[in-house]
Structure 1
Amino acid sequence: MTYKTFLYGALVSSLVGLLSACGPQIEQAAAPKPITPQNALALQDVVSSQLAPLQLGGGDYLLLASEKRGLVLVDASGRERLALDGGTVERFALQQLAQDNWLIAVYDEDNGELQLRLLDLEEGSPRIRYLAAMATSAPQEALCFSRQANRTHLFAIDESGLGHEYVVHPREQAWQFTEVRPLYFGEQVSSCVVDDRSGKLLVAQPPLGIWSLNADAEMDEAREVFVAASALPGASFGGLWLDARSNNLWLTADDKVLAFNIHAPEQGPQFVETLAEIKPVSAAVQQGALLALEEESDRVHRFAVTLPEPAAELQAFRGPLEIPRVRASAQTAPVSSGGDAADDPAIWVNPVNPSASLILGTDKKSGLNVYDLNGKLLEHFAVGRVNNVDLRPMQHGKFVAIAAATNRTDPGVSLFGISAAGEVEYLGLRNLAMEDPYGLCVYRKGADLMAWVSDKEGAVQLLQIVPGAGNVDWSLRQLATLEVESQVEGCVVDDEMQLLFFGEEDGGIWRLDIAAFLGGEAGPQLIAAVDGERLAADVEGMGFYHAGDKSYLVVSSQGNNSYALFSRDGSQFVGHFRVDINLDKSLDGSSETDGLEVSSAALGSQYPQGLLVVQDGRNRMPSQSQNFKLVSWADIAETLNLP
């Protein structure tokens, strides 16, 4: 027994009991009389197990998978209009790209490959054109398309339950499959469908039920039961088809066809009918009639039924908030530690050669990494569990800047010096009377270098970093303690205004006038509360983009994977954006961002207006350890129409 087989078996064993008790239940009333077909479309040598309706040139058609002829297209009367010569196809996915323009993904069993085809019209007649193919290691059992940020994504799940998400897109003379992430289910997956309006991927998996999970790879998977197996008659179910007009999900189960409202499955099926004569494996609705197909059949049965309609309140269903997207420009090498490891970046601007500037990034399980602006790892300091890092330039005989990082291995702050040549040197650890040093931000007050450091479950301390002549005689001097109501990690100081901004993860953004606080005249003010849209908990990383009167406070809004811009004083919301896939550079977007840093310095031709660096909690394309994404401020300014 392989490890994967064991894992899938354990998954099924542990979940089947749980899922059988969940979900809407079909009342066991007296069995209704089976309905008989009104008529049937007789096909010629198709041998099909899947159908889907579509429109071309204003007319209704049916696309069918064929075990003998690949794909077959028939009109509403059953007259064959087109066939894909050769190939054994049992599964396909269908997505409309434009009017009279349909993208098809098929699994060809004869060649063992996923294929992309385009169905359109040529001089009024349907045609199917080849776009691309990709070999697979196992037969594919379920295929479905998703539309995300004007891109086409394909989900493909094989017979062992291993799924893959791809972006499929044109590239020069052919289309390309770019893998985004793997997905793990288990055996017996029968079909899938994506509701683009809610962003949900639905997967039928007898004997467990129908799963719902987020289709967006940059979101939490949030896998949950859409319909449990106990709510479905019989042990064989699938054939998922979504009627986008009515928000109803259609499926087959033994000799029945059912429909659930996609947004309220807990209400139970909106439609249940037992079919006479056949056990359907694929069903859909066309021209007000129910169409059903028996496995490996040459007949499409048409039933006259009363179709369900969505409730009035569900017609106004509001999908996820659409947030503008900015493509990633580059990324760093992944951190060496697995799991949740990368955390917080800092940017050192080389005053002589800005293109040779550095990015410092924490691996909170291992130490501090140093990268160049191309994301190449230059050096790793294995100094322990450093969490947050920040730096400021200073006048010193040996160094032009000092970086500080909270260290949770031996509670304290690790110090690093940066020379004019861009060489980073470890200056050692300075211990603190703190249980768990967590957040940190450095700032300048005149000629002095200061730092705010938070205890994960306690107060925030104000420290002065006192320089030494050598590496070992630098010290920290505690100046004040700020009591806070809950956990604080992200913080930043506007050096010129001497204002501290810090994030209360579940509360929002607080501002503190440092001088007034030290004089006993002021405390923190909540200036931007978490509202779930502009700012969604957790509030994490913070940075300042300084450009005179066009300066912005940039904040990681972890709960909706976005980055919020506020006015310099934090009082006005300017806009927000997400970091998106860059297919031209094979870069994924970013999500679950902990720390960030931003600079307005012109850092060469790639970052003429500055650079934003954000931690990426889910490093995709391919799936790897966490890293940091680099984003050109020029792209942010263009997307948000900043002055």
Structure 2
Amino acid sequence: MIAGSCEKVNEMMHKHFLGFVSAAALCGLLVGCGKTAEPKAQTEKLKPQQSISLSGIVSSQLAPLTLGEKNYLLLASEERALVLVDEDGSEVASLDTGKVERFALQAMAAGNWLVAIYEEGRSEIQLYEIAREATANQPQFRFLGARKSEAPQVALCFSSQGGRNHLFSIDETGLGYEYVVQPREQLWSFSEVRPLYFGEQVSACAVDDTRAQLLVAQPPLGIWSLNADAEKDEERRVFAAGSRLGENFAGLWIDRQAGNLWLAGADRVLAFDLTQPMSEPVFAGTVASAELVSVARQGQALLALEEESDSILRLATALPAATAATPLSEKEIPRVAPRAQTEPVASAGDAADDPAIWINPRNVADSLILGTDKKSGLNVYDLSGRLLQQFPVGRVNNVDLRSVEHPRYTALAAASNRTTPGVSLFGITPAGEVDSLGLREMDLADPYGLCLFNKGSKTFSWVSDKDGGLHLAEILLGENPLEWKLSQRANVQVQSQVEGCVVDDERELLFFGEEDAGVWRLDIAAFVAGEGRPQLVAAVDGEKLVADVEGMGLYLNEEGSGEQSYLVVSSQGNNSYALFTRDGSEFVGHFRVDMNLDLGIDGSSETDGLEVTSAGLGAAYPQGLLIVQDGRNRLPSQAQNFKLVSWADIAEKLGLP
């Protein structure tokens, strides 16, 4: 059987491109490709204790649910769409018409249930609510909304994320989508979050919300595990190899209380510990001469359906105990929604990187956002996120700006350039016009991070070499701005890679992030005098600050000091933003940037650069603005961009003074 499975793998590889793993690797996932791999646990021969008759339903999926204190079974029907029966098989409610083979079921508030089906006759994914009818006190189906589908859907499953209902749907070609489904004025809406790519022969899916993992059955390969959260790396892994599952396995069902994943395959029933990927099953049984397609546990009863069945088998067996070591979900971090986002950058892949904010002295509503596209150049946006200008000056990585005294320009912006190693300079006029002033080379292998600071009338830059230290240089801008010079002054040796940095001009303090170590602080004046050394003020601890440490900015109140000033750091490893006191020594709190579904904006993750200002920028940003790079631009999936977050929302969520 295994050798045959390897042949099927190669055939599938010719039919469909599975970009995440090669055919040879897939064969390896089948445990040996040529050797049988029987479960160590003894396989029990299961005998039907009872057969519950289902008249005229023809079902291929079942799931238990409870309304009030009464237990029911929900059944897909190829003749009547959805049918709800009580424990003895008596029909309680149905949709009466429609052909349905797969559904997803999710508990809702107030004890009701959300159901998603693929209705073949209409080629639609449809949403229904199951609730008790108020007058008759009987369950009923209520239509919520629908979405047309170009291909038949073979797998549906729900996930609960941030108080939202997410629906995963996979079609017969192996193309899947994640949607957020939510109520609107009349019908529910489907907001596309991201696409997902599998191959042919997907048969079922389920989501383990405790561990936020999406599980997808794909015979003969096995069961895949992916991160259900679209703002995290996909991390596709094998949960169970196909050699252990029999043929045509499907009917994934999660026993959340016991922490087990159940599935059916031909004559086999298996259960796996959700905390132990690639482990032996905790339960294995066979039903003689059966073709099982769905299995679920209700109380102490194990229920199973045969293919296109008109009866439910109640199997006599001792069920496995609950998993003893079910881990808790990670500690919830407060979430703040963005108010706007920029247009996506032109380059695909990992491209957007670092923003800067220019405050227009004539009208704050006309302030600008500068953002790097590290594959092509610098972009200029307005506060609505609309792209105004593009400067194709090369692979600029980080950007920062400072005000200057000059006949033409009110501010200078500088960006580290990796195409020709050096610094690209830009001038900003009082009217908000941005000019490119050219590039000056530096003797660096790979300019990476960059931040500016002013000391009196002088402007300096700190530039990190990707494999070296931090280099201090003065920007000398003459009357002819195109003839500017870059004069190196000093350098700081570091132990590993540095990108994010920011300078507190008033206190002459440099903060820089050593990606795997934490945030360092350097007294610039003391260092230049030969006395100062960097101090690690905020170490990576895996909770408050998680490697990689990336972008950082300073939120300074109007007085430039006091309890309302903060160092903001991108904690890339857990997709959050950490606030520290102005000197970087004390942790204040952290938050994540979450979806704003009303505006159709996704959250942010894998953030590289950020910038923040305390300047009031209109009604949306009365206490200032935080801009963060978004490494995974979802809702739907597009090229990377930048998210705009109101500081007032952050302050309210974290209870800041």
TM-score using structure 1 length: 0.97
Amino acid of the structure 2 residue aligned with 1:169: Q
Question: Which residue of 512, 517, 520 corresponds with 2:527?
Answer: 517
Amino acid of the structure 2 residue aligned with 1:148: Q
Whether 1:219 aligns to 2:251 is: no
Whether 1:389 aligns to 2:399 is: yes
1:195 corresponds in structure 2 to 208
Amino acid of the structure 2 residue aligned with 1:320: E
Secondary structure at 2:105 match in 1: strand
Secondary structure at 2:296 match in 1: strand
2:48 corresponds in structure 1 to 37
1:370 to 1:3, Cα distance in 2 relative to 1, 3 A: farther
Secondary structure at 1:523 match in 2: coil
| Distance in 1 separating the partners of 2:504 and 2:160 | 41
2:123 corresponds in structure 1 to 112
Q: What is the CA deviation profile of residues 246-275 of structure 1, one whole-angstrom value per residue up to 9, with x for unaligned ones?
A: 001100122011110111134311100111
The alpha-carbon deviation at position 229 of structure 1 amounts to 0.6
Question: Which residue of 57, 73, 77 corresponds with 2:84?
Answer: 73
Whether 1:537 aligns to 2:550 is: no
1:138 corresponds in structure 2 to 151
Whether 1:471 aligns to 2:481 is: yes
Secondary structure at 2:527 match in 1: helix
| Percentage of matched positions with identical amino acids | 62
1:378 to 1:4, Cα distance in 2 relative to 1, 3 A: farther
The alpha-carbon deviation at position 414 of structure 1 amounts to 0.5
2:314 corresponds in structure 1 to 302
Question: Which residue of 299, 303, 309 corresponds with 1:291?
Answer: 303
Whether 1:209 aligns to 2:222 is: yes
| Distance in 2 separating the partners of 1:9 and 1:642 | 46
The alpha-carbon deviation at position 280 of structure 1 amounts to 1.1
Amino acid of the structure 2 residue aligned with 1:122: E
1:112-511 equivalences in 2 (<5 Å): 112-123=123-134, 124-232=137-245, 234-312=246-324, 314-315=325-326, 317-511=327-521
The alpha-carbon deviation at position 8 of structure 1 amounts to 4.6
The alpha-carbon deviation at position 605 of structure 1 amounts to 1.1
The alpha-carbon deviation at position 32 of structure 1 amounts to 4.9
1:25 to 1:598, Cα distance in 2 relative to 1, 3 A: farther
The alpha-carbon deviation at position 89 of structure 1 amounts to 0.4
| Distance in 2 separating the partners of 1:515 and 1:213 | 50
| Distance in 1 separating the partners of 2:331 and 2:225 | 19
| Distance in 1 separating the partners of 2:36 and 2:656 | 53
The alpha-carbon deviation at position 3 of structure 1 amounts to 12
Question: Which residue of 617, 631, 637 corresponds with 1:603?
Answer: 617
CA contact under 8 A between 2:41 and 2:284: conserved in structure 1? no
CA contact under 8 A between 2:41 and 2:281: conserved in structure 1? no
The alpha-carbon deviation at position 346 of structure 1 amounts to 0.3
TM-score using structure 2 length: 0.95
CA contact under 8 A between 1:20 and 1:228: conserved in structure 2? yes
| Distance in 2 separating the partners of 1:215 and 1:42 | 37
Q: What is the CA deviation profile of residues 112-169 of structure 1, one whole-angstrom value per residue up to 9, with x for unaligned ones?
A: 0000000000131111000001110000000000000000000000000000000000
1:505 to 1:353, Cα distance in 2 relative to 1, 3 A: same
Amino acid of the structure 2 residue aligned with 1:255: D
Question: Which residue of 538, 555, 572 corresponds with 2:569?
Answer: 555
1:16-95 equivalences in 2 (<5 Å): 16-21=26-31, 27=38, 32=43, 34-95=45-106
Alignment root-mean-square deviation, CA? 1.9
The alpha-carbon deviation at position 435 of structure 1 amounts to 1.4
CA contact under 8 A between 2:31 and 2:37: conserved in structure 1? no
CA contact under 8 A between 1:346 and 1:391: conserved in structure 2? yes
CA contact under 8 A between 1:610 and 1:634: conserved in structure 2? yes
Any unmatched runs of 5+ in structure 1? none
The alpha-carbon deviation at position 599 of structure 1 amounts to 0.5
The alpha-carbon deviation at position 394 of structure 1 amounts to 1.2
CA contact under 8 A between 1:350 and 1:358: conserved in structure 2? yes
Any unmatched runs of 5+ in structure 2? 1-10
Secondary structure at 2:146 match in 1: strand
Q: What is the CA deviation profile of residues 30-61 of structure 1, one whole-angstrom value per residue up to 9, with x for unaligned ones?
A: 98562211111101100000000000121010
CA contact under 8 A between 1:321 and 1:533: conserved in structure 2? no
Q: Matched residue pairs, number? A: 640
1:178 to 1:267, Cα distance in 2 relative to 1, 3 A: same
1:576 corresponds in structure 2 to 590
| Distance in 2 separating the partners of 1:10 and 1:594 | 25
| Distance in 2 separating the partners of 1:405 and 1:29 | 60
The alpha-carbon deviation at position 304 of structure 1 amounts to 2.1
Worse-superposed segment, 71-80 or 265-274: 265-274
1:633 to 1:460, Cα distance in 2 relative to 1, 3 A: same
Amino acid of the structure 1 residue aligned with 2:152: P
Secondary structure at 1:585 match in 2: coil
Secondary structure at 1:146 match in 2: strand
2:6 corresponds in structure 1 to none
1:533 to 1:11, Cα distance in 2 relative to 1, 3 A: closer
